[in-house]
Structures are given as C-alpha cells and as structure tokens.
Amino acid sequence: GQNIDQPTEMTATEGAIVQINCTYQTSGFNGLFWYQQHAGEAPTFLSYNVLDGLEEKGRFSSFLSRSKGYSYLLLKELQMKDSASYLCAVRVHTPLVFGKGTRLSVIA
C-alpha cells in the first residue's frame, strides 16, 4: 500500500518561518507535490519536486530527499492568509496519492 504521513496541525506566528514535514512509503515514485487548501475551497498547486534538493518559489520552498522518503514545505514571512491546510501528495502512477494534510494556523 501507499502511506504518506504529515503532522495534523501546526501553529505559527505571523512573520515567522514554518516547516511542514512529509514522509512517504510508496510502491514507486514519480514526483512529490504540495498543495494549499483553504477551508471550503479546492486545493491549489504550490510546488513539485522530482529530484533531490530545494525548489524555491518566493516565500515558499520545497525540499525532497528520495533516499529518505522525505519532503518539507518551508513557508517564510508568514501572513495571516497562509492559514490553510497543506497537502503533500506523491505520484506513483496516476492519480496522486494524498496525505491527510496539515492544518496550519497563523496567529498574530
């Protein structure tokens, strides 16, 4: 089977940095995705890693280590609007296999 683990909830302060971890054990690997989902809305694509290393996109960065089955999403200069669920998803084949999501609360 496929297993993707990420923390259920996290809280961080406005302006700070937060790292959301994701570990996976899957039967194959063709890339790891991070999505952001606000309450009552559909997920929106944030980032994609298929090779080891760090991908940076503005305030958001995503890291992948395939040998460790590990990824993290790093959010810098947190804003209140970053309060949302963050979904880690692995492509084994089609479709993506999703983790349960991490609910991030940004407080003042």
Partner 1 sequence: GAVVSQHPSRVICKSGTSVKIECRSLDFQATTMFWYRQFPKKSLMLMATSNEGSKATYEQGVEKDKFLINHASLTLSTLTVTSAHPEDSSFYICSANKPSGSTSTDTQYFGPGTRLTVL
Select the residue interacting with partner 1 from 71, 82, 90, 101 (CB under 8 A). 101
Side-chain-facing half-sphere of 6: CA atoms under 13 Å: 26
Residue 87 β-bridge partners: 35
Residue 32 β-bridge partners: 49, 90
Q: Does 86 bind partner 1 (CB under 8 A)?
A: no
Q: Does 51 bind partner 1 (CB under 8 A)?
A: no
**Placement of tokens 């040998």 in the chain:** 67
Our CB check for partner 1 shows the closer of 24 and 33 to be: 33
Residues engaged in binding partner 1 (CB under 8 A): 30-31, 33, 35, 40-45, 48, 50, 87, 91, 93-96, 98-101, 103
